Structure 1
Amino acid sequence: MTVSSHAFARSDEGLAQLLSATLGETLGSASITKRTALGTGTHPKELVEIEASEGQRRHLFVKYGGSVDLDPGGTRTGVLYEAQVYRDLLPLLDIRTVHYYGQVDPTDRLPVLVLDGLPDALRVKKVPGGRAMIAAAGWLGSFHAQTTSMTECRHLSWVERWPRSLLEKWCDPDSASPAHPKYREVLSYLVEHAIPDLLDEGHTIIHGEFYPKNILFHNEEVYPIDWESAAVAPSEFDLAMLIDGWPSEIREAARDEYAGMRWRRSATEASRRRLRIAEMILHARWLRTVNLTRDTANRRLPLLLELRQQV
């Protein structure tokens, strides 16, 4: 769907006034010195360099919300929800996160999320070697360890929950498209057996899109961003997203680091099986996308069938 970019088209002066008026207690008066548009994702976003009233330069990450449901039937919930995650969930945890300046509500009623810009940060997938991946796995294990006890907290009742119907939709045998004699059989197994098994166990709060592209690495520290899909769900989905597509040695090291931070011990065979099921469900999800490419099908379908042999 089209995202309104009215807020994104503000003049430098207009954006500076908006930031100063709404976030003045934190930022003081500010003038814009540089703006850099970032990619073409679901929401318009940019890095904004400002000079604050005390003469200090700061870098802000500014993300502009839309006026419509951007992800019908999916997991993304919008910028207002993401701001609530930064404001009401993440500060409860003993864990490093991107600094949240606030959520601006301009006159056009389209929300604007303002975070620390971390201008020298790299996406985890851009960091050579595996150290950023291992650090991200450790961060994730700590995050899940702390949120396991929060899933039924009344003050966090606003956190979304992934329903069984969502996972079944991703694995619907009737929507199977790759031509393979075993594919529909695997999907039926997921819907009838694997998904119920996965949902029977205790859940945590998950990031929901914990792919390396959504994790920043700055000064040897991990900073996950894009929290629109945060939800109560099986924790294995986050780890499956993180290790998707990486070499086996990095995947194994990441799994070990996660287990050490999550449980202070090695992963059990039961937890490894649950991770394989989550990986299968994610492969099935991407195999049913409208814009499925031959390369995606050729990579994910064999992995899905191989995982079925392991569970």
Structure 2
Amino acid sequence: MADLRRVTKPAPTDQRVSGRAPAAGLPDLQALTDGLARALGDGDAGCPVSVLNREPVLYPGWTPVEVVTCRFADRSVRRLLCKYGSPVRAAAYGHRGGVPYEAAVYQQVLGALKLSSAAFYGTYEDAATGATWLFLEYLHGSFRLRDVEGAAPLGLAAAWIGRFHAAAQQHLAPDGWRTLLRNYDEGYYRGWLARTAAFAEPLQGRFPWLPRFQQRYERFMAPLLDAPETAIHGEYYLKNVLVRDGRVYPIDWESAAIGAGEIDLASITEHWPPDIVRQCQLEYGRARWPDGPPAEFECTLAAARLYLHFRWLGDRAELTNRPKNYWRFEEMQHLAERLGLI
């Protein structure tokens, strides 16, 4: 699905595959064939399918992934990205939902919107392990945005997520996606701030403003809680965006949620020079608000950037105290001063 480094050299499409799993965490051939037949078929009978080739891939994250070439009863051949979720998955304090959650996002959220995305083929629950397998379209010839030269594709990604936020906002009816997606509420933001403060306690001599900032968390959260709600990706970084033939395909939707769309814009523009960031903001604004962004947009975006810092600093104590991550504290201080929080 992505420009992923392969563990083994791809075999010809018609090469026979063995019944042994090609890598740890992947099912054996018979289990995979049965799972595909059930997921792609109609009911218990399943769909006749033959596995022609399996290509294990190195994939950033915790989940085993492979590209599978299949032949169906009508003799058509397709390549699918198969993602094997674990029944026990670190939820990152409610930030991630695992493969079953991601599958629901592909089916119910992305499937309802007319935007470029990998096609959803189905899921299968492995009775032996309780794991959910997710089958998606393999986007051959795509590249991760982080591997594409130049800043032009970044503008495409900003515009895509702007269109997504505009369209998704219309689907947040009481009986719609609110019952599916987790919500970034006050408790969610407060939890990340509290963990960052706890993990960073040994660093208070270096960053003495942290306690003052924690005491004023309500003022920080206000722009994010007051912003119009929409569905968001949650980790809209370069590694989670594919580009192919000038079109954008976001992937890895385990962190999708309801929240301020500015969080996704802050993610995709992190670390970029100011002129490129400004251009991405313009592209995003045009896509989401054709008549112009709301007056509070800049303030909400600053709060979103602030949130991203303590979201990652509040993930694990050993990462919080690692010197190479001190830049996040420095950026937090700058943003907090800008928002009048310290």
- Supply the distance in 2 between the matched residues of 1:304 and 1:259 (Cα, whole angstroms): 24
Maintained 8 Å contact 2:263/2:305: yes
Match of 2:35 in 1: 18
Structure 2 residue runs of 5 or longer lacking an equivalent are 1-22
Structure 1 position 259, deviation (Å): 0.3
- Supply the distance in 2 between the matched residues of 1:246 and 1:187 (Cα, whole angstroms): 27
- Supply the distance in 2 between the matched residues of 1:37 and 1:207 (Cα, whole angstroms): 23
Structure 1 position 278, deviation (Å): 0.9
Per-residue CA deviations over 1:192-233 (Å, capped at 9, x if unaligned) read 311034212321111111111111111111111111111111
Query: Does 1:166 find its partner at 2:188?
Result: yes
* 1:29 maps to amino acid: V
* 2:165 maps to amino acid: H
- Supply the distance in 2 between the matched residues of 1:254 and 1:125 (Cα, whole angstroms): 15
Structure 1 position 186, deviation (Å): 2.9
Decide which of 141, 145, 149 is 1:124's aligned counterpart.
145
> Which structure would you say has the larger Rg?
2
Query: Does 1:188 find its partner at 2:215?
Result: yes
Query: Does 1:295 find its partner at 2:324?
Result: yes
Structure 1 position 127, deviation (Å): 0.8
- Supply the distance in 1 between the matched residues of 2:53 and 2:26 (Cα, whole angstroms): 16
Distance 1:193 1:305, change over 3 A: same
Moved more, 109-118 or 15-24: 15-24
Maintained 8 Å contact 1:44/1:65: yes
- Supply the distance in 2 between the matched residues of 1:7 and 1:24 (Cα, whole angstroms): 27
Structure 1 residue runs of 5 or longer lacking an equivalent are 1-5
- Supply the distance in 2 between the matched residues of 1:165 and 1:224 (Cα, whole angstroms): 28
Structure 1 position 42, deviation (Å): 2.4
Match of 1:256 in 2: 282
Correspondence list, 1:67-106, <5 A: 67-106=87-126
- Supply the distance in 2 between the matched residues of 1:203 and 1:110 (Cα, whole angstroms): 32
Instruction: Provide the aligned C-alpha RMSD in A.
Output: 2.4
Moved more, 51-60 or 241-250: 51-60
TM score, norm. by length of structure 2: 0.82
Percent identity over paired residues: 29
Moved more, 234-243 or 154-163: 154-163
Correspondence list, 1:1-311, <5 A: 8-24=25-41, 28-39=48-59, 41-108=61-128, 109-156=130-177, 157-172=179-194, 173-177=197-201, 178=203, 179-189=206-216, 191-288=217-314, 289-292=316-319, 293-297=322-326, 299-311=327-339
- Supply the distance in 1 between the matched residues of 2:279 and 2:49 (Cα, whole angstroms): 47
Per-residue CA deviations over 1:88-143 (Å, capped at 9, x if unaligned) read 12222121111111111233231100001113211111111112211111010001
Maintained 8 Å contact 1:19/1:30: no
* 1:302 maps to amino acid: E
Structure 1 position 296, deviation (Å): 1.5
- Supply the distance in 2 between the matched residues of 1:96 and 1:46 (Cα, whole angstroms): 22
Detail structure 1 runs of 4+ shifted over 6 Å in the superposition.
none
TM score, norm. by length of structure 1: 0.89
Per-residue CA deviations over 1:3-50 (Å, capped at 9, x if unaligned) read xxx993322343133213431469752223132233351222222233
